[in-house]
Chain A
């Protein structure tokens, strides 16, 4: 069974987190409580439900079936043969090992001008990693900006949470996002089948870049979850008058004169962008969750896991 990290562990991690306040002891405590809440829900949900049809080599007996050629003869139940004079092989429960791939967008737009996006992204990555580790899954961390960099190779065991936090804590949020290249380069091998979480704002070079980049995600091994980090000011900047805009990723300056009508048009364009992204994800069986940085982290996290993630099923 998984063991939850004690308070001392979380406090130490928080202390090591340095001056950045994205990780605090209270957060880890809440994460542990969240995990317990999820496990309880999972146990309640497993009553009368077969976990998986696959068979494996665990000690948990599952069923018998007739022996066929190419079956492992070591699985023949000789006692049953003695009684029935027919060959049966014993089937055991297979325990699957997931790979949890957490891809964090480390472009500048995730940290500037709204630091909440970075904090929420790091918290979410940490929470997902923690959940994967305590569930005995392998957890991989990736940083995504103009390319995908593997920050943490697959680790297992809840003791690796410190390593995860260290990695997350030292992520540099800089550069521009190249979604197409990143999604094209990100190809976990089949043997690392698992759950993929992409935490990003999905701001590409163009409004339609994100939707086009989704085509690269069709053959990813496992279930995919796209979490879009959005700050309320990004939906509604509330600008008026002459404003000089600076793109934090490219440094590009634009001088614009905003009116209320312009703001209304902006909101429509942004809403269309989100809708297009959600529709693209839905068409490719990718779970899409807009993450609001001004809303409760726990609620949104539970909602994320309750949307049918395998991670939530342990």
Chain B
């Protein structure tokens, strides 16, 4: 019980008027008349006993006071919802991620969350400012602290779920920062995710930089809106790449997952379509929480639309059912091979010549005088040579480094170590694609420190002789051996495969095809002109060129629907599932590819019980009366008015 506008309670002083009138009312005038003959013929009389008259007057006073009380309480905004802990500031964080578009009883979870927040909001005093944050991959402050409830309601009602993965932690941190501006504050966190353990919620570590807020963390109310028994199968990863050394063939990597909260195993159908025609159909039986990865070979022509769609009975979320992209354009891969003049490894040269093709891979040879590499090289192959200063912008394959150079975690050995036993640690790594790991003997020349972000692929005893990974955003493949001094490897087909895989894997991060498929929520930098092949963010160019039109082929759950938007900045946020194309010719695809969204959680009964309105708790008198009681009070006042009219005025003569 609380009052939204307690100032109107002063209107209750008006009750003094009927009280004064009652206690100091003018007594009825007594008139002596010669005869009552003529008065008796008039209309009905007020003939009643004195006690009944007093009772009626008292009853009339009580009814009048009740009517006034009802009106005053209605004006004061009496609400039956329980008064939460006192707070002066409210921050509402609403999950608008893809999973909130799951439907329950014909309404999305987001709509239900908004309705629930509206109801709860009615119980918040009007003087408490409310801020609204909508979050998916990033939190967005839609409304700063305001006491205008209509704005808040309009903002909430305008919310729409976006096919973007959610990052509740970032949203919670933002909400806490907002809440810290004016405490005591309360945070209402509406999402489909179950609440984390209380220990995590109460940890204000993210506010450590706020000196004035750490002492009084905001009271967090977690409202989970989820399906009771959700079933959802979706694509959690999708990628396409040309098959190595196979013209016109591509490999599609598709990862399908069934949410862990599903009641049981489900049969999931994966359909691949190329240019609208089905080319492959896979039926998978997935257990709850199981993820199935598929590499599918296909033939196609660049520019053709490749679609992957999964379907499942009772599927609750459509945004993750589709993934697609245009088959990538095959631009020649430029490999810059650096070595000391005349000291290039012949086997490396043979291998590069083996993978070189006019329209696929172009290999350029250069020495120390050609360093640094020109713009346009996709992969650097440093063969027995290292520059004085490392070039960190281009992926590199480092073979037999002669010296130590930061940031490469490679240390040359003083001598050479023949290695006959090579142990493959990760045979599924793309660098080792179809590379036999047995009967390989090497001559190790360097020691690789693969304890960081590098992954050791070949181990000789306890030393990594082959490692791949990223260092400071740069893909690196490190070969700690000398090919020409090794016996078996260079002479077999394994080395060209290994080098080709290394080049292709290193170049994959910078390939055009990789950039065209983006997970929703990511930002894609759009260059100002079609001839620019780099994606550097250039805000000045974008501002110079003005607005950019983006045509979307948006996945609406059943088909692709055309939609155009205008982009005013240099960054395109991938906020929908589908294909996009800018008027400068840039193309791309957006897919959800978020295991966290596909894995729809079930409604946590304990969380539902704790986050339900306190009014529902036993002992609360107003189990049915929620929110604003004004309609009830006005109805009560009208009922009392009718009762008074019937009791006291039905025989009145006017």
* Complex Cα–Cα for A274 and B654 (A): 27
A201 and B34 contacting across the interface, CB-CB below 8 Å: yes
B30 and A246 contacting across the interface, CB-CB below 8 Å: yes
For this complex, 21 residue pairs linking A to B, each with C-beta atoms less than 8 Å apart, are A113-B31, A203-B35, A234-B33, A239-B31, A243-B28, A243-B29, A243-B31, A245-B31, A245-B33, A245-B36, A246-B30, A246-B31, A248-B32, A248-B33, A249-B35, A252-B36, A254-B36, A255-B53, A259-B653, A261-B653, A265-B43
Contacts beyond the supplied A113-B31, A269-B38: 12 A-B pairs with Cβ under 8 Å? A117-B34, A205-B37, A237-B31, A243-B29, A243-B31, A244-B28, A244-B30, A244-B31, A248-B32, A254-B40, A254-B47, A255-B45
Q: Using known A-B contacts A242-B29, A255-B28, determine if residue A247 contacts B47 with beta carbons closer than 8 Å.
A: no
B47 and A248 contacting across the interface, CB-CB below 8 Å: no
* Complex Cα–Cα for A234 and B39 (A): 11
Give the B interface residue count (CB, 8 A). 24
Interface string of A81-123 (1 = CB under 8 A from B): 0000000000000000000000000000100111001000000
Interface string of B370-384 (1 = CB under 8 A from A): 000000000000000
* Complex Cα–Cα for A313 and B41 (A): 43
Chain A contacts for B35, CB-based, 8 A: 109, 201, 203, 247, 249
Chain B contacts for A257, CB-based, 8 A: 46, 652-653
Interface string of A57-84 (1 = CB under 8 A from B): 0000000000000000000000000000
Contacting residues of chain B (108-140) with chain A, CB-CB under 8 angstroms: none
Q: Using known A-B contacts A241-B29, A242-B46, determine if residue A109 contacts B34 with beta carbons closer than 8 Å.
A: yes
B38 and A273 contacting across the interface, CB-CB below 8 Å: yes
Chain A contacts for B41, CB-based, 8 A: 207, 265, 269
Which 7 residue pairs of A and B lie closest in terms of their CB atoms, listed nearest first? A109-B34, A203-B35, A113-B32, A255-B46, A242-B28, A247-B36, A244-B30
From residue B50, how far is it (CB to closest CB) to chain A in Å?
10
Chain B contacts for A203, CB-based, 8 A: 34-35, 37
Q: Looking across the interface, which residue of chain B has its beta carbon closest to that of A206?
A: B37
Chain B contacts for A269, CB-based, 8 A: 38, 41-42
Q: Looking across the interface, which residue of chain A has its beta carbon closest to that of B46?
A: A255
Q: Looking across the interface, which residue of chain B has its beta carbon closest to that of A257?
A: B46
From residue B116, how far is it (CB to closest CB) to chain A in Å?
54
Contacting residues of chain A (219-237) with chain B, CB-CB under 8 angstroms: 231, 234, 237
Which residues of B pack against A, CB within 8 Å?
28-43, 45-48, 53, 652-654
* Complex Cα–Cα for A310 and B181 (A): 112
From residue A236, how far is it (CB to closest CB) to chain B in Å?
11
From residue A161, how far is it (CB to closest CB) to chain B in Å?
30
Chain A contacts for B654, CB-based, 8 A: 259, 261
* Complex Cα–Cα for A241 and B46 (A): 12
Q: Using known A-B contacts A207-B38, A254-B39, determine if residue A246 contacts B33 with beta carbons closer than 8 Å.
A: yes
A22 in the interface (beta carbon within 8 A): no
Q: Looking across the interface, which residue of chain B has its beta carbon closest to that of A234?
A: B34
Provide the main secondary structure of the chain A interface: mixed
Provide the main secondary structure of the chain B interface: loop
Which residues of A pack against B, CB within 8 Å?
109, 112-114, 117, 201, 203-207, 231, 234, 237, 239, 241-250, 252, 254-257, 259, 261-262, 265-266, 269-270, 273
Chain B contacts for A113, CB-based, 8 A: 31-34
From residue B238, how far is it (CB to closest CB) to chain A in Å?
87
* Complex Cα–Cα for A247 and B32 (A): 6
From residue B26, how far is it (CB to closest CB) to chain A in Å?
9
Chain A contacts for B39, CB-based, 8 A: 245, 254, 256, 266
From residue B54, how far is it (CB to closest CB) to chain A in Å?
13
Q: Looking across the interface, which residue of chain A has its beta carbon closest to that of B36?
A: A247
Q: Looking across the interface, which residue of chain B has its beta carbon closest to that of A247?
A: B36
Chain B contacts for A205, CB-based, 8 A: 37
Q: Looking across the interface, which residue of chain A has its beta carbon closest to that of B30?
A: A244
Chain B contacts for A237, CB-based, 8 A: 31, 33
* Complex Cα–Cα for A265 and B41 (A): 9
Chain B contacts for A243, CB-based, 8 A: 28-31
From residue A98, how far is it (CB to closest CB) to chain B in Å?
32
From residue A1, how far is it (CB to closest CB) to chain B in Å?
42
* Complex Cα–Cα for A114 and B40 (A): 20
Chain B contacts for A254, CB-based, 8 A: 36, 39-40, 45, 47
Q: Using known A-B contacts A207-B37, A262-B653, determine if residue A256 contacts B32 with beta carbons closer than 8 Å.
A: no
A256 and B46 contacting across the interface, CB-CB below 8 Å: yes
* Complex Cα–Cα for A237 and B653 (A): 18
Residue of B28, B38, B652 with most partner-chain A CB within 10 A: B38
Chain A contacts for B37, CB-based, 8 A: 203-207, 273
* Complex Cα–Cα for A256 and B45 (A): 5
Residue of A112, A246, A257 with most partner-chain B CB within 10 A: A257
Q: Looking across the interface, which residue of chain A has its beta carbon closest to that of B654?
A: A259
Q: Looking across the interface, which residue of chain B has its beta carbon closest to that of A265?
A: B42
From residue B203, how far is it (CB to closest CB) to chain A in Å?
73
Q: Looking across the interface, which residue of chain B has its beta carbon closest to that of A273?
A: B38
Chain A contacts for B38, CB-based, 8 A: 207, 266, 269-270, 273
Chain A contacts for B28, CB-based, 8 A: 242-244, 255
* Complex Cα–Cα for A242 and B30 (A): 9
From residue B46, how far is it (CB to closest CB) to chain A in Å?
4
Q: Looking across the interface, which residue of chain A has its beta carbon closest to that of B48?
A: A255
